[in-house]
Structure 1
Amino acid sequence: MSIFASPQFLSRVMWLDAASCAATGALQLLPGDALARWTGLPNALLVGTGWFLLAYAAAAAWMASRASAPRRAIGLVVLGNLLWAVGCGALLLSGALNLSALGVAWVLVQAVVVVLLADLQWMGLRASSLSRGGRQLAAG
């Protein structure tokens, strides 16, 4: 059995996703306007996405805590993570904001992390399906 097909793999990846989103959301909310000044990102964008990330972290933690991985929900998480990365890339490529080096790094790190998480989640979903003879698991 591959590590990706382990029953705990998806749960652990979802806990990692929840923790990274909770940390990022808190960092976007706690320093107030300071992060906006340091990064060049609009404070409204940081606050809005900070609250979204905290709510998402709660949902990801709920998925991680299930005895059986909610496969459809995790599939939506994979899509959401990829869309987040696309949004980060679009923000950087648009040139609409005067980002500092820290701002560019803040957005790039988020894009890279969510792509890595999406990849791990996808591999876990695929491996767990294959390890069960290709049958679709019941959605959680």
Structure 2
Amino acid sequence: MQISVSPFLRNVLLLDALATGATAIILAGGAHMLSPLLDMPRSLLFWAGAALVPFVLMVLAVSRRQTVSRIMLVEIIAINALWVLASFGLLVSGVISPNLLGVAFVSAQAIAVALFAELQYVGLRRQTA
């Protein structure tokens, strides 16, 4: 099912792509500086940033379309939700032991991603209602 991309949904998707793109640049490009500040493995930060690049490109492309499949929007929302779960899961798993700034950094980005997922869900519901 194709749905129209409303201005609200377009803006939310564009903001998601921009914020995620900035995060990718900060993580991948600044892993060597962030690692000691956050007490997190440099490779984790780098690869987390690198992994965001295809998602950024996909969300940016979707934000520029007039119509998009409902499934594509559901996938974007699901990927954002999985990122949130993985972020908090990483913190509670004990696999890494970030310092307080590291916990705050991971938590803040996860909360921002959760907000984007919620806004995208609201935009999707408005279009399919």
TM-score (norm 1): 0.83
Larger Rg, first or second structure (1 or 2): 1
Aligned counterparts of 2:5 and 2:59: Cα–Cα separation in 1: 19
**What does residue 77 of structure 1 align with?**
76
After superposition, give the CA deviation of every residue in 1:12-42 in whole Å (9 maximum; x if it has no partner).
1110110011000000122241111111221
Amino acid of the structure 1 residue aligned with 2:20: C
Aligned counterparts of 1:109 and 1:70: Cα–Cα separation in 2: 30
- Superposed, 1:14-25 pairs within 5 Å as 14-25=13-24
Count of matched residue pairs = 126
Whose strand fraction is larger, Structure 1's or Structure 2's? 2
- 8 Å CA contact 2:31, 2:45 repeated in 1: no
Aligned counterparts of 1:70 and 1:44: Cα–Cα separation in 2: 35
Unaligned residue ranges in structure 1 (runs of 5+): 131-140
Q: What is the Cα-based RMSD across aligned positions, in Å? A: 1.6
**What does residue 99 of structure 1 align with?**
98
Aligned counterparts of 1:59 and 1:6: Cα–Cα separation in 2: 15
The alignment-based identity, stated in percent, is: 30
- 8 Å CA contact 2:5, 2:66 repeated in 1: no
Whose helix fraction is larger, Structure 1's or Structure 2's? 2
**1:32–1:113 distance in 2 versus 1, CA, 3 Å:** closer
